[in-house]
């Protein structure tokens, strides 16, 4: 599938994901980074938080994490949770790379806000603010702007990268 498919966060799923990561890392002979997904629904059988699930995967397998800040924002809006609380509890010491991307806004069947991680828009202001929060508390990490659909001309992409660089510089200068 082209998108990250949701999983229930259970001990059985944890074991299966860890087994697959161990297999991939063994074949590649190197550490991989596992990305936090965008969430559009929650499973009733979930027994642990996403952050606890990802932390435990890192502990068991030695893999790193790829923190997609847009995915955090999208999930927080869709699940009506706090993106800042998610980041406060996230194991930032395991983060090897940060991704930023754009999303589309819609409404669900009950007229509640619904965000779709589309990688087809500029990074939204709340995502920039969350990114600054992440690097303020967790330190700078390699950062990638994801833009996979409706890719604009180079100046637009370069401007997005320049915004990320300016935030990194501002945070670095204040430390």
What does 70-118 look like in DSSP terms, one character per residue? HHHHHHHHHHT--HHHHHHHS-GGGEEEEEEE-EEEEE-TTS-EEEEE-
Six token digits for residue 22: 């161990």
Model confidence pLDDT, tens digit, residues 73-102: 999 999 999 999 999 999 999 999 999 999
> Nearest 5 degrees, angle CA 84-CA 21-CA 32?
65
The answer to whether the CB of 96 falls within 8 A of the CB of 142 is yes
Token pair 């994901």 in the structure block, residue: 17
The answer to whether the CB of 124 falls within 8 A of the CB of 103 is yes
Three-state DSSP state, 3:
coil
Model confidence pLDDT, tens digit, residues 143-168: 999 999 899 999 999 999 999 999 99
Residue among 78, 48, 71 nearest 17 (CA): 48
CATH placement of domain 11-174: 3.20.20.150
pTM for the whole thing? 0.94
Q: Name the pLDDT band for 6 (thresholds 50, 70, 90).
A: confident
What pLDDT is stored for residue 1 in this prediction? 44
Token pair 């893999």 in the structure block, residue: 63
What pLDDT is stored for residue 3 in this prediction? 59
């Amino acid at each position: 599938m082209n998108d990250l498919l949701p999983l229930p966060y259970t001990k059985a799923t944890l074991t299966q994901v860890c087994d697959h990561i161990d297999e991939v890392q063994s074949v590649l002979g190197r550490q991989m980074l596992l990305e936090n997904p965008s969430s559009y629904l929650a499973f009733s059988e979930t027994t642990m938080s996403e952050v606890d699930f990802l932390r435990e995967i890192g502990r068991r397998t030695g893999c790193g994490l790829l923190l997609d800040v847009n995915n955090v924002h999208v999930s927080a809006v869709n699940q009506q949770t706090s993106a800042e609380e998610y980041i406060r509890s996230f194991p930032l010491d395991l983060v090897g790379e940060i991704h930023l991307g754009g999303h589309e806004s819609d409404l669900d069947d009950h007229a509640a806000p619904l965000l779709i991680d589309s990688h087809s828009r500029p990074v939204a202001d709340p995502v920039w603010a969350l990114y600054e929060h992440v690097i303020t508390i967790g330190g700078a990490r390699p950062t990638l702007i994801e833009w996979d659909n409706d890719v604009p001309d180079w100046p637009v992409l370069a401007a997005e990268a320049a915004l990320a660089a300016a935030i990194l510089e501002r945070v670095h200068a204040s430390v």
